Structure 1
């Protein structure tokens, strides 16, 4: 098996504004695993608030390259067990895990959904992100959009803006990226009208969730608070929903386990994304059949997508049905 990797720059169509900052581009690391002329692809991106350093990932890939290139083809879960012994960052592990699932499916000539008995029909629709702006501009974007579901970014709570968004009578979620105060959270979860939002994502900084109540009117959704399988039980009294992102948890293999455990515990599950090309989005899309919500608009937000595969069109998740993850470089 051969390993190839390359840095890429993802250019955003417009400035992406969230509570953490403003972004015009994202740096990405493409990972390619190949065998017998078949190629599988994975990707991870540099997110500053996760303190991701792609150059350190490249150094690690160079270090483990001889080991991976000696590796014979085995089942992806067995390959993931080998990765787990290498002390990799979850973002890098996700890129390798997804690339291997893509390669394995292509070698076996079977799609990821078929390999894992995941529904591929009647999939939940994805939201599209509305970044921080004047409320009039956010509302204008929603009204003009051909998408049906929206995740509206905000920085802090403005009660008047909440009312304006609810009056649109659309499928809207709020994501404050941890910018709400305890007082904001109390106000939100004590107001019945807030139940009309699809969910409210990561209201407080990591670890500051004990003000939240899952028994309230609000569908609180954990993002940064929910990093891996071990997060689920401790968050149960506070959150109704969890956002599972492949890069956070380490790839498709642990994501499958997380989804199954989350469902057992009674959570609603969203398969989410960061700013990613169609490599990352193709991987996320294959889990839509197990999800209650989806936020897979990452490739929609960039202007220089360098791959194709599974995709999202006006919110509708479309699976190619091709072997592996169906990823092809342009």
Structure 2
């Protein structure tokens, strides 16, 4: 098996702001694993909050290329377990390798990835479209630019209820709220009352990650479901979220890829938690991998590639929130030339 590394800068259609800051472009690394004339692709993007950079990714891939290229027809689950000791401190890179190997493995079997998993692409949730923090006028303009059945609205300002009140005047779509750790307990409970009146479906990660006591209070008093994001990074976090959140949002890059994400979803369901997969701002390489998990999910947030000026790949497409799978096998990805 051969490792090929591609690096890109993903430019955004609009500056993207959340409670932690603003970004206009996202550095991305694409891992390509090639064997017997076929290739699989996976992605990791740089994220200051998680101290990841493309330069570090590339350096680590080159350093470990012999380990990565060792191939003896392992299943994706076996390959992930094999790689874990070498990449345990870099879940983003482990994710890219896991996505690429799942893609390659299913292509070598002439199957789409969901077919290899014996999933049926039916009753899949619609994806939301994300509106970053901005002036109300610009947030409204972004909604009008992309009419969509579900919007995820980033909040974490002093005027959050006023923002949602104004946005509601311009759309009957479902709203989801993501505060990205920007609220306190009292604020969250109070906001949940008003947001429910405004047709909000749920609130994602309102409190800082270390406030588990506060999360319990919010869980017991909120008028809307609370979904964990930053509080649910890896597999061991799922059980912690039980009786503190109503559901979890799994990010492939944070947990280490498709392989652990499937286990996290299974565990969450066994605990009665709602399940969601979210994305980073990433290309159609990462987004297409997410799509194959959607038959398992209650909610999905896989709009990352829609936020780009320059998607660097083709794969799964989104039609008014609906997922349209590629005709290609594996995850269905093809890099643009």
Q: Judge conservation of contact 1:310–1:318 (CA < 8 Å) in 2.
A: yes
Give the CA deviation at 1:135: 2.2
* TM-score normalized with structure 1 length: 0.94
Question: Does 84-93 or 138-147 show the bigger shift?
Answer: 138-147
CA distance change for structure 1 residues 134 and 192 in 2, over 3 Å: closer, same or farther? closer
Deviations for 1:109-148, whole angstroms, at most 9, x for unmatched residues?
A: 0111111122312321110011111224323433553211
The question of 1:27 aligning with 2:27 is answered yes
Quick check: 1:282–1:327 contact (8 Å CA) kept in 2?
yes
CA root-mean-square deviation: 1.8
Matches within 5 A, 1:237-316: 237-316=243-322
Q: Which consecutive unaligned segments of at least 5 residues does structure 2 have?
A: none
1:186 to partner: Cα distance: 2.7
| Counterpart-to-counterpart distance in 1, 2:157 and 2:181 | 9
CA contact (8 A) 2:12 2:307 kept: yes
* Secondary structure in 2 matching 1:155: coil
Aligned equivalents of 1:234 and 1:110: distance in 2? 36
Q: Where does residue 165 of structure 2 map in the other structure? A: 163
**Matched residue, 1:203:** 206
Q: CA offsets, 1:232-268, max 9 Å, x none?
A: 1112122112111110110000011011111111111
Range moving further from structure 2, 147-156 or 35-44: 147-156
1:194 Cα deviation (Å)? 5.5
**1:105 has 2:109 as partner:** no
Question: Deviations along 1:198-243, whole A, 9 cap, x unmatched?
Answer: 2111112221243233343121111111001111111212211211
Q: Secondary structure at the match of 2:210?
A: coil
Matched length: 330
1:20 CA displacement:
1.2
Which residue pairs with 2:64 in the alignment? 64
SS in 1 for 2:24: strand
Superposed, 1:1-330 pairs within 5 Å as 1-88=1-88, 89-158=90-159, 159-166=161-168, 168-189=171-192, 193=196, 196-212=199-215, 213-215=218-220, 216-330=222-336
CA distance in 2: counterparts of 1:74 and 1:66, whole angstroms:
16
Extract unaligned runs of 5+ from structure 1: none
In structure 2, relative to structure 1, the CA distance for the partners of 1:233 and 1:85 (3 Å cut) is same
CA offsets per residue over residues 263-319 of structure 1, 9 Å max, x none? Answer: 111111111101111000000111111111111111111111111111222211111
Distance change in 2, residues 1:65/1:192 (3 Å): closer
TM-score normalised to structure 2 length: 0.92
